[in-house]
Amino acid sequence: MSKKILVWFRNDLRLHDNEMLVEAIAKSDSILPVYILDHRQFGQTKYDTLKTGNIRAQFILESVLGLRYSLKQIGGNLLIAEGNPEDIIPQLVQEYEITEVYHHREVAREETHVSTLVENALWKLRVNLKHFIGHTLYNKEDLPFPIKDIPDAFNQFKKKIERDSIIKPCIPAPDRINVAEVIDWGTLSSLEELNLLPQEKDQRADFEFTGGEAEGLAHLQKVTVAMQQAATSKNLILASKLSAWLAMGCLSPRKVYWE
């Protein structure tokens, strides 16, 4: 029986510096890359405000489609589904005879709750959910102290890790991928289908965010050049505007550091 690994993308929508993806490719005969649009993230909060606004939602949709395009460029694709991950992933595991599921560990309460629900559902199928860390500058095993002994003061933390720890180099993006045979890879909802309206461009804006790994890398290059110029000018104030791509995992912190 061939080994198939389901790679569950969440807030890690990139190929570069993606240990989860690279390990899945190395340890399987084929992989099934999956993104699940969880509609619970696009409803109303208890305060009757939008859980995800139209600008952020548009950025997410662009980032997901960007990931699909990148995977296609190396011979793969991205299965896009909509619904609850704890329902969809076990179904995919059974349908495609998945032997293991990989995902990046989240830290926020709602996301970790979903991870627990998925893990419990997979446990009933005797399938392992393997966790990776992909959103930090330092790996926890490279810290000069145990997690429980992290200094309370940031200055102490900063001094210790700068003196005694290392930032690992980025993991190269894969150049080839072998994916499972899928008849229907799915489509992604539009803003209108998520009951959101496109944001009209404000003529006063001097910058427009576009989601996706390619756009994030291109902007990072511009920021790098601007920082070099800022080093020779005392009057230049630089705002990197990288946070949106970092938040969705279109850029890794290590990529930003090493650039």
161 — phi, psi (to 5°)? -75, -35
Q: 96: closest CA among 107, 81, 111, 74?
A: 81
Beta strands in 126-171 (DSSP E): 128-132
CA distance 55 to 221: 23
Closest of 66, 128, 65 to residue 100, by C-alpha = 128
The ranges of the chain with pLDDT < 50 are: none
Q: pLDDT tens digit string along 118-129?
A: 999 999 999 999
Q: What is the distance between the alpha carbons of residues 255 and 194, in angstroms, rounded to a whole number? A: 32
Position 142 scores a pLDDT of 83
pLDDT of residue 250: 96
Domain boundaries, the chain: 4-135+169-174+209-258
CA distances from 89 to 38, 179, 183, 207 (A): 12, 16, 17, 37
Distance CA 250, CA 242 (A): 10
Beta strand 128-132 pairing with 100-104: parallel
Query: What per-residue string of b and e applies to 74-105 under the rule 16 or more CB within 10 Å gives b?
Result: eebbbbbbbebbbebbbebbeebebbbbbbbb
pLDDT for residue 124: 96
Return the CATH number of the domain spanning residue range 4-135+169-174+209-258: 3.40.50.620
The reported pLDDT for the residue numbered 149 is: 85
Q: What pLDDT is attached to residue 209?
A: 86
Q: What pLDDT shows up at residue 139? A: 83
DSSP for 40-104? GGGSB-TTSSBSS-HHHHHHHHHHHHHHHHHHHHTT---EEEES-HHHHHHHHHHHTT-SEEEEE
